[in-house]
Structure 1
Amino acid sequence: MSNNPARSNSPITYIVDQQPGRAERLSTVLDFISEPHQSCDLATLKSKLADDATAVVLLGALPEQQHAEIIQRYPTVAFLLLGEPLKPLLQFSNVVGLLTDPFAYASLTQLLRDCQLYHRLMPRQRQHDCKVQFDGMVGNSEPMRQVRFLIKQVAATEANVLVLGDSGTGKEVVARNIHLLSHRKAGPFVPINCGAIPAELLESELFGHEKGAFTGAISTRKGRFELAQGGTLFLDEIGDMPQPMQVKLLRVLQERTYERVGGTQVIKADVRIIAATHRNLEQMIIDGGFREDLYYRLNVFPIETPSLQQRTDDLGLLIQALLQVNALRNKANVKFTDRAIESLKLHPWPGNVRELANLLERMVIMYPEQVVDVAELPLKYRHLEVESYQPEYPESLQERDLLNALFQSDDDDFDQDDEGTDLEAAENAELEQNNGNGSFYANGNIKHLPENGLDLKEHLAELEIHFISLALHRHEYVVARAAEVLGLRRTTLVEKMRKYNLNKED
């Protein structure tokens, strides 16, 4: 027997089997793949499940054939059956699959992943369902209010729903909300992306397969239809489903029964179907890429999800909601100025909410706990010519900082070569002649304080005019270069030139 400590992020696996040789072989395989597990008898299992009913149980031979009783008593436990004689027990929804000796690494790991999927799909208890009607649907714009209305209308029925919309608009969020508001909310919500699974594997993924049904099928496995029994099956990207599979899906929708690949037992499909696609199915029907009869089976109640460009008024609320989620994951946050949000509203958002989520995550990484303005946004999101955010400081602080800078001098400031000194002297001489500032600012420094005092604001303005004129003259009135040497933004320098009438004379 093995008794490894369980990892906190996955349920522990228990082996209950009165055939000690088989249990030992199975334990060896689990040790090899580093899967936490414990071999125990039925009484110990009941004691363990009384404390934590979230587990995976590999169920083999039991005294007095108590299998069905145990499986039904613990609906939150995912069971894997050991041996062909237990195959009839696959009818129970929490029985995920069947293993046969000899145990193969590939089939065992796949079935353990299916058990983890079963636990993830179990409905979570919600303490505030009365307050929260919709999960993850952010926004108060008219298109979003219309989507909520349609969800409430169709949720209480068993009608098939077809969710239409561009990629990234939240079609799965719509499907999940239909499930949560339906009478099937206690059952699982099982999504499957029909475009992400190879055509040759899609049938097995949807309907399951029997042992030996094809090369590599070394154990019986449930499909998504069985995993969704009593709940909702979400067929995402239905427009990418191959035509042969469209025929088989149509038959299931019509007859509400199916068989596993390689099997003959008829299984009843007690599931609600919600499909979604970003494709134009009506055009695909004309082009011969999608079956018309399947389209009308699925399109009983269509819901169109609006693109982000159609609901830019929701952008502020979406940013707030996505940043809250990001803060929990990355332990950091970021703030956007109103100008940055206005710029984002002008973006076309071809990737919709998914593109927005990616942008926000990037901004959190680049500017954690900072304020993001238009200048900090990536280039393609800058739709307003607004300079980077600069906080407004009191005028008294600005004057103090300027005076401190003027009176601080280093010895290195006077160690200039003759060529630089001659050039500056010539520039100063010309500026003195043009501006009439006299010797007070001859070197750009205050030499002495007049006996009768001075008007500090007036002289600071004169000093500002002096250095702006000097920079403009040196760079032949190329504003961008002059602003660079003065440490100013170009637009700020333009405003000061306009204020002091320092434009170049023709």
Structure 2
Amino acid sequence: MDTPRILIADDDKKTRDFVAAFLSYKGYQVFQAFDGQDALQKIELNDVQMVITDIMMPRVNGLEFIKQLKSIRPDIVTIAYSAFANFEMTANLLKAGAFFYLEKPFNLDELETHVKRGLEHQALQSKSFRSKPCIKNRALLNNIIGESEKMLSLFEMIEKVSSSDSTVLIQGESGTGKELVARAIHDLSTRAQKNFVAVNCAAIPDDLLESELFGHVKGSFTGAVATRIGRFEMADKGTLFLDEIGDMKANLQVKLLRVLQNKELEPVGASRPKKVDVRIIAATNQNLDQLVVSKAFREDLYYRLSVIPIMLPALRERDADIALLLNSFLDKFNRSKQRNVQGFDRDVMEVLSSYDWPGNVRELENLVERMVILKGSGIISLNDLPEKYRGKRGPVMRTEQVNLPESGFCLNSAVEEFENRLILQALQRSGGNKKEAAELLNLKRTTLIEKLKKKKLVFGETHTAG
């Protein structure tokens, strides 16, 4: 594996040399730059994975440098630091794309922790940044997190769809990010400077939804004390996102179809229609094909909406993205909740990567928020996971107290013997089923088999060999 390459940008040579010496000692290849402009030139000559930069620098300061860097090399991870910290500065840096922000003077161990995490994050995303140059507007897709093949295909589809005005139907399970995709299509389109208006058709009572969508005139019904424009008019020249379209009642489906066909709407109680220029993006977690067959959804409206269908993958279908999502949500909630959780241990990553995620990305995000708030600091371990995510594993075993003999003993032998006993107990409890035994030990089945071979353990014997 190649040695990670890091660039330090700071006009203070003493600080720059100090950080560079520490990282060089830790085994990284380090380059130096005296300000943002010099750093941009150095990056052209050296393929770095990470930049650590001061904020207060002459010519091109740290904030402007990060903005420019992200526009040309979004795959490079940046860590910023300054002695003049405030909330607004931190927010601007993170918004510009900084991976983490440190206050000077900072602890070198803390710096190393974030360098390791940043490089892990960079490794997850760099392959797809370089192998998919056809994704031209990656910076505008940053809110949609994913580097798996299915997500990269989705990014390409979003770019292609955004250049047209055709209606789009986004389908996928709850929590897969349908509104994020709709917003990305809008942001990449020629309508980006106009309104993006979202309506959840299932959240508004049926007797109010017509007025919400099309507006009403004063006196058209009880309570209509003033004329009000609807969501369609709010989205004129822009995009209207109709979420949970499968819950729309039949009478409104007819009116929506008329708007799509004639590009005009009729407010409740109005005597004449109004012209509107709105792009429709609809979404549902229901199977509209089945609803059409059962006559619960109009077939003609379905074909009008699904000119361009997009199917979002469930999280269990793209488990390669889970580590990336975990780290992204961890950073988000560390900032918003003012916590300092440093990461997830390997067992947690393995457990969460194999979980089924019925609530998809939304469920994962909610879980990370909960754990960050409750943990506060340190590393999230299996004991921090709610029981339903641990499955059969249960809480991590706490060993009995052992008193160290006066003469001492061999720690390696004791640990080896303890591990052997646990493996044999797990096999005994599972009746020799290696898959179940591996689950009890929070191991992969292949890992358990390798341990059995290496240790020459035989189930049923009361002793261990080798």
Q: Does 1:161 align with 2:134?
A: no
For 1:311, the equivalent position in structure 2 comes to 318
Q: Aligned letter for 1:312? A: D
Q: Give the whole-Å Cα distance in 1 for the aligned partners of 2:409 and 2:326.
A: 46
Moved more, 310-319 or 362-371: 362-371
For 1:365, the equivalent position in structure 2 comes to 373
Deviation per CA, 1:410-465, whole angstroms, max 9, x where unpaired? xxxxxxxxxxxxxxxxxxxxxxxxxxxxxxxxxxxx7xxxxxxxxx3359999x99
Q: Give the whole-Å Cα distance in 1 for the aligned partners of 2:316 and 2:410.
A: 53
RMSD between aligned residues: 3.3
Deviation per CA, 1:319-370, whole angstroms, max 9, x where unpaired? 1111222122211143211211110111110000111011111111221112
1:180 to 178, 183, 187: 187
Q: Secondary structure at the match of 1:133?
A: helix
Counterparts in 2 of 1:102-251, with a 5 A limit?
132-251=139-258
Bigger radius of gyration among the two: 1
For 1:64, the equivalent position in structure 2 comes to none
Q: Does 1:279 align with 2:286?
A: yes
Deviation per CA, 1:288-330, whole angstroms, max 9, x where unpaired? 1000000000000000111000001000111111122212221
Deviation per CA, 1:1-35, whole angstroms, max 9, x where unpaired? xxxxxxxxxxxxxxxxxxxxxxxxxxxxxxxxxxx
Is the CA contact (8 Å cut-off) linking 1:188 and 1:232 kept in structure 2? yes
Q: Give the whole-Å Cα distance in 2 for the aligned partners of 1:177 and 1:210.
A: 33
For 2:270, the equivalent position in structure 1 comes to 263
Q: Does 1:457 align with 2:408?
A: yes
Is the CA contact (8 Å cut-off) linking 2:387 and 2:394 kept in structure 1? no
Q: Aligned letter for 2:231? A: R
- Kindly state the Cα deviation for residue 260 of structure 1 after the two structures are TM-superposed: 1.3
Q: Give the whole-Å Cα distance in 2 for the aligned partners of 1:459 and 1:140.
A: 46
Report sequence identity in percent: 47
The TM-score normalised by the length of structure 2 is 0.57
Q: Aligned letter for 1:137? A: I
For 1:326, the equivalent position in structure 2 comes to 333
Q: Give the whole-Å Cα distance in 2 for the aligned partners of 1:461 and 1:156.
A: 63
Q: For residues 338 and 249 of structure 1, do their structure 2 counterparts lie closer, same or farther at Cα, with a shift above 3 Å needed?
A: same
Q: Aligned letter for 1:202? A: L
Q: Give the whole-Å Cα distance in 2 for the aligned partners of 1:384 and 1:216.
A: 56
For 2:57, the equivalent position in structure 1 comes to none
Q: Give the whole-Å Cα distance in 2 for the aligned partners of 1:318 and 1:131.
A: 17
Q: Secondary structure at the match of 2:291?
A: helix
2:354 to 346, 351, 366: 346
- Kindly state the Cα deviation for residue 137 of structure 1 after the two structures are TM-superposed: 0.9
Q: Give the whole-Å Cα distance in 1 for the aligned partners of 2:397 and 2:322.
A: 20
Q: Give the whole-Å Cα distance in 2 for the aligned partners of 1:199 and 1:295.
A: 20
Q: Give the whole-Å Cα distance in 1 for the aligned partners of 2:412 and 2:316.
A: 48
Q: Give the whole-Å Cα distance in 2 for the aligned partners of 1:243 and 1:283.
A: 15
Unaligned 5+ segments in structure 1 are: 1-125, 391-397, 407-445, 447-455, 469-478, 480-489, 492-497
For 2:296, the equivalent position in structure 1 comes to 289
Q: For residues 458 and 314 of structure 1, do their structure 2 counterparts lie closer, same or farther at Cα, with a shift above 3 Å needed?
A: closer
Is the CA contact (8 Å cut-off) linking 1:323 and 1:360 kept in structure 2? yes
Q: Give the whole-Å Cα distance in 1 for the aligned partners of 2:325 and 2:368.
A: 10
- Kindly state the Cα deviation for residue 183 of structure 1 after the two structures are TM-superposed: 0.2
Q: Give the whole-Å Cα distance in 1 for the aligned partners of 2:258 and 2:228.
A: 21
2:386 to 373, 378, 385: 378
Q: Aligned letter for 1:367? A: K
Q: Give the whole-Å Cα distance in 2 for the aligned partners of 1:153 and 1:374.
A: 42
Unaligned 5+ segments in structure 2 are: 1-94, 98-135, 419-428, 430-439, 442-456
Q: For residues 271 and 457 of structure 1, do their structure 2 counterparts lie closer, same or farther at Cα, with a shift above 3 Å needed?
A: same
- Kindly state the Cα deviation for residue 384 of structure 1 after the two structures are TM-superposed: 7.4
Q: Aligned letter for 1:457? A: G
Deviation per CA, 1:357-396, whole angstroms, max 9, x where unpaired? 1111111122111212223211111157497499xxxxxx
- Kindly state the Cα deviation for residue 149 of structure 1 after the two structures are TM-superposed: 1.1
Q: Give the whole-Å Cα distance in 2 for the aligned partners of 1:168 and 1:276.
A: 12
Q: For residues 224 and 457 of structure 1, do their structure 2 counterparts lie closer, same or farther at Cα, with a shift above 3 Å needed?
A: same
Is the CA contact (8 Å cut-off) linking 1:235 and 1:276 kept in structure 2? yes
Moved more, 141-150 or 320-329: 320-329
Q: For residues 261 and 389 of structure 1, do their structure 2 counterparts lie closer, same or farther at Cα, with a shift above 3 Å needed?
A: same
Is the CA contact (8 Å cut-off) linking 1:343 and 1:384 kept in structure 2? no
Is the CA contact (8 Å cut-off) linking 1:162 and 1:302 kept in structure 2? yes
For 1:91, the equivalent position in structure 2 comes to none
Q: Give the whole-Å Cα distance in 2 for the aligned partners of 1:263 and 1:389.
A: 70
Q: Give the whole-Å Cα distance in 1 for the aligned partners of 2:158 and 2:412.
A: 65
Is the CA contact (8 Å cut-off) linking 2:382 and 2:396 kept in structure 1? yes
Q: For residues 458 and 133 of structure 1, do their structure 2 counterparts lie closer, same or farther at Cα, with a shift above 3 Å needed?
A: closer
Q: Give the whole-Å Cα distance in 1 for the aligned partners of 2:309 and 2:397.
A: 45
Deviation per CA, 1:164-200, whole angstroms, max 9, x where unpaired? 0000000000000000000000001000000111111
- Kindly state the Cα deviation for residue 237 of structure 1 after the two structures are TM-superposed: 0.3
Is the CA contact (8 Å cut-off) linking 1:344 and 1:383 kept in structure 2? no
Q: Secondary structure at the match of 1:343?
A: helix
Q: Give the whole-Å Cα distance in 1 for the aligned partners of 2:265 and 2:412.
A: 86
Q: For residues 230 and 127 of structure 1, do their structure 2 counterparts lie closer, same or farther at Cα, with a shift above 3 Å needed?
A: farther
Q: For residues 322 and 459 of structure 1, do their structure 2 counterparts lie closer, same or farther at Cα, with a shift above 3 Å needed?
A: closer
Is the CA contact (8 Å cut-off) linking 1:376 and 1:388 kept in structure 2? no
The TM-score normalised by the length of structure 1 is 0.53
Counterparts in 2 of 1:466-481, with a 5 A limit?
none
